[in-house]
């Protein structure tokens, strides 16, 4: 596989990373009750989400609030924590998978609501669960090149509409065990939002340097997970096998190019499930206690999963700690990014 390479950033830093938790906690036990007719008819046991995926609960937005409102809130928090004004921002990238219409972009509402200047470029960057890391990489390249000074990356996700549609479909009399298994991953999704501010490291002593990383594509697997507003259909085993192969390839390419990631202080991964996390830990021999886990209580919050986890971990990271962000997105794509805290 060729075409993707390791990369390094010269003068870029993470100035702030924030998250917004959706307020309504919905347990997997409640999902079992919603799916009780289907589970009984198909002779499937309850607690599959907890036993197989390790997801105990996830969150939904309360009535009257929405994913883009949460992305706006996260963005405002991130700018406040970074100590920059909206007028300083030269780039806004929205990386949400969730959207209510094909056009215009989700980014335009966020740009307007945050009071960003007309000079700030804004657009959506969609790459499944990897979008936020891709957005950080793109912004870092633009900062290093001198095109912009500050970038704001956001993601807001809403799992409820897709899950409600999935309940109806799986509870139909004609649904099969195969249908249930192909839509099982949909039930692990959760809602939430995150934002990050990136800027020039030399103007912010003590900030968290974004050093660089590696990216790899395995697009022969583009049909293994296909999702839309009405549902998501996944070949779980194929996705896991293809993702692991891609991660291992990227990991070894990075090592051969001088990156040393076998003794990081924290490995912040995209949050999916027990099996996914355990497989990644085993495949590249990570120290389990250095891999924070958030999916049992948040579920898989798409591209917001990784930055939400990083925001949580930021409270316990110390200056000098080394952090590796590791994500995989449907399609398949993977990217790893080292941050010197």
- Name the fold adopted by 6-10+207-340: Peroxisomal Thiolase; Chain A, domain 1 (3.40.47)
User: d(Cα 73, Cα 87) in Å, to the nearest integer?
Assistant: 17
| pLDDT recorded at residue 138 | 97
Asked if the model's pLDDT at residue 4 lies above 70, the reply is no
User: d(Cα 317, Cα 310) in Å, to the nearest integer?
Assistant: 10
| pLDDT recorded at residue 1 | 44
Q: What is the pLDDT of residues 174-198, one digit of tens each?
A: 999 999 999 999 999 999 999 999 9
Q: What is the pLDDT of residues 60-106, one digit of tens each?
A: 999 999 999 999 999 999 999 999 999 999 999 999 999 999 999 99
Whole-structure pTM value: 0.96
Choice among 226-230, 247-251, 314-318 with the minimum mean pLDDT: 226-230
| pLDDT recorded at residue 3 | 52
User: d(Cα 227, Cα 43) in Å, to the nearest integer?
Assistant: 26
| pLDDT recorded at residue 228 | 86
Over pLDDT 90: what percentage of the chain?
95
> Which residues are catalytic, by number?
103, 129
The token duo for 118 is 């007309």
> Among 164, 163, 155, 158, which residue's Cα sits nearest to residue 191?
158
228 three-state secondary structure: strand
User: d(Cα 29, Cα 192) in Å, to the nearest integer?
Assistant: 20
| pLDDT recorded at residue 189 | 97
Write out the DSSP string of 297-335.
Answer: HH-B-GGGHHHHHHHHHTTT--TT-EEEEEEEETTTEEE
> Among 30, 17, 4, 332, which residue's Cα sits nearest to residue 193?
17
Q: What is the pLDDT of residues 123-160, one digit of tens each?
A: 999 999 999 999 999 999 999 999 999 999 999 999 99
pLDDT band of 32, cuts 50, 70, 90? very high
Domain boundaries of the chain, sorted by first residue: 6-10+207-340
């Amino acid at each position: 596989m060729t075409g993707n390479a390791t990369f390094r950033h010269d003068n870029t830093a993470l100035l702030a990373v924030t998250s917004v938790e959706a307020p309504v906690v919905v347990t997997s036990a409640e999902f079992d009750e919603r799916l009780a007719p289907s589970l009984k008819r198909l002779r499937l046991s309850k607690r599959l989400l907890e036993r197989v995926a390790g997801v105990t609960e996830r969150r939904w937005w309360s009535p009257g609030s929405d994913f883009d409102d949460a992305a706006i809130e996260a963005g405002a928090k991130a700018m406040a924590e970074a100590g920059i004004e909206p007028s300083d921002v030269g780039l806004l990238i929205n990386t949400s998978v969730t959207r209510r219409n094909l056009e215009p972009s989700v980014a335009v509402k966020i740009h307007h609501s945050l009071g960003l200047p007309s000079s700030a470029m804004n657009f959506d960057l969609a790459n499944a669960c990897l979008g936020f890391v891709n957005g950080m990489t793109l912004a870092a390249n633009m900062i290093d090149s001198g095109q912009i000074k500050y970038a704001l990356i956001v993601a807001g996700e809403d799992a409820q509409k897709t899950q409600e549609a999935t309940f109806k479909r799986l509870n139909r009399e004609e649904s099969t065990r195969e249908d249930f298994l192909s839509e099982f991953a949909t039930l692990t999704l959760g809602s939430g939002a995150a934002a990050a501010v990136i800027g020039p490291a030399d103007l912010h002593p003590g900030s968290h340097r974004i050093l660089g990383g590696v990216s790899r594509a395995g697009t022969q697997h583009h049909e293994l997970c296909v999702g839309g507003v009405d549902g998501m259909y996944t070949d779980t085993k194929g996705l896991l096998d293809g993702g692991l192969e891609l991660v291992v390839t990227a990991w070894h390419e990075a090592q051969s190019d001088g990156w040393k990631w076998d003794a990081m202080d924290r490995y912040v991964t995209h949050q999916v499930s027990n099996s996914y996390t355990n497989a990644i830990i085993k495949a590249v021999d990570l120290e389990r206690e250095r891999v924070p886990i958030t999916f049992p209580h948040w579920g898989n919050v798409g591209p917001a999963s990784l930055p939400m986890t990083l925001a949580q971990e930021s409270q316990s990271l110390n200056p000098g700690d080394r952090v590796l962000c590791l994500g995989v997105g449907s399609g398949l794509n993977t990217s790893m990014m080292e941050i010197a805290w």
